[in-house]
Amino acid sequence: MILVTGGTGLVGAHLLYRLCQTQESVRAIYRTPESIEKTKILFELKNASSTLFDKIEWVLADLNDVVRLEQALTSVTLVYHCAALVSFDPKDDKALFQTNVDGTANLVNLCIAQKIAKLCYVSSIAAIGTPIGSELATEETEWTQKKSTTTYALTKFLGELEIWRASQEGVPVVVVNPGIIFGAGFWSSGSNKFMAHVLTEPKYYLPGGTGFVTVDDVVNGVTLLMNSTINNERFILVNKNWTYNKLYEVLAGAMNKNTPKNELKQWHISLLWRLDWIRSFFSTKPRLLSKAIATGFKQTTYYDNSKLQKVTDFKYTKLTNYLEALCKLYLSQY
């Protein structure tokens, strides 16, 4: 039996689709019936039969509800831990620690107690250290907390420490650190918001750059690793290192929209996060741009994606082609 946490999120839902195509028994945890609908919609988007979706055994559980979580792990041999809270609103700091750190610790404790055969953790490049100068960040780049470190990044790093604790207690683990993930479905959240922004034909683009990856790459990577003899290693999953300007060019071209021509200056970004703070302070609306993430947008950090390709036959998809097809699918939905 395979257990997937975060099965109602982008990575987890795509992973469930892949796993359901095998003969394995698959179980996923959920918190609300409404959240399951998101995964069902993805299966329908992929023209999957209802029989395929019905292969999933859904179990009501929460990472911080140890009793239900223990029940969800009954007879499980493999665990894909995809669940995470992603937020850059300081109001969510407590919830970030509860989900990404405490929740992961609870799962690790149960995996150790039940002697799970293998555990995969979907982390983030946010938990990878920042290299010196123009060097590429690698799995070995030292992570240090800075003023610009987001709470999300901190909690993903601390979550990884819990996973390594599992490895020290005898549970074989693999960790992946994906870049910004693009994938079908879940159009109104995560990186897919870039497409909605491009539709407005913005005049400005962000100045920095980072690593991008497709959800197919992530699913291919984690399933390959879980079915391999590789244990107790972490792998960066970045398809391409692009500037945000390059990303906007590709998305705008695919949707036949004008490409932004002007780079946001540092003072623009500094002003925007302050205005966002004022907007949030005088309303109930969540923060969209914290000081930490605004600082991150000014930076360019690129990643070395060679490790996984050196030790396996893993191949990345063609990112430009993937995004062009994704944009067409997005436009067909709106």
Task: Give the domain ranges of the chain.
Answer: 2-185+212-239+303-317
CA distances from residue 55 to 17, 21, 187 in whole angstroms, order as listed = 10, 9, 25
Residue 116, both tokens = 């799970």
Structure confidence by residue, pLDDT tens digits, 31-89: 999 999 999 999 999 988 888 999 999 999 999 999 999 999 999 999 999 999 998 88
The tens place of each residue's pLDDT in the chain, 334 residues long, gives 999 999 999 999 999 999 999 878 999 999 999 999 999 999 999 988 888 999 999 999 999 999 999 999 999 999 999 999 998 888 899 999 999 999 999 999 999 999 999 999 999 999 999 998 889 999 999 999 987 789 999 999 999 999 999 999 999 999 999 999 999 999 988 888 899 989 999 888 888 899 999 999 999 999 999 999 999 999 999 999 999 999 999 999 999 999 999 887 776 677 776 776 677 767 777 766 666 666 666 689 999 999 999 999 999 999 999 999 999 999 998 7
Of 5, 64, 11, give the one whose Cα is nearest residue 214. Answer: 11
What letters, b where the CB count within 10 A reaches 16 and e where it falls short, cover 253-290?
ebbebeebeeebeeeebeeebeebeeebeeeeeebebb
Residue pair 118/43 in contact (Cβ under 8 Å)? The answer is no
Place domain 2-185+212-239+303-317 in its CATH homologous superfamily: NAD(P)-binding Rossmann-like Domain (3.40.50.720)
Report the amino acid identity of residue 280: S
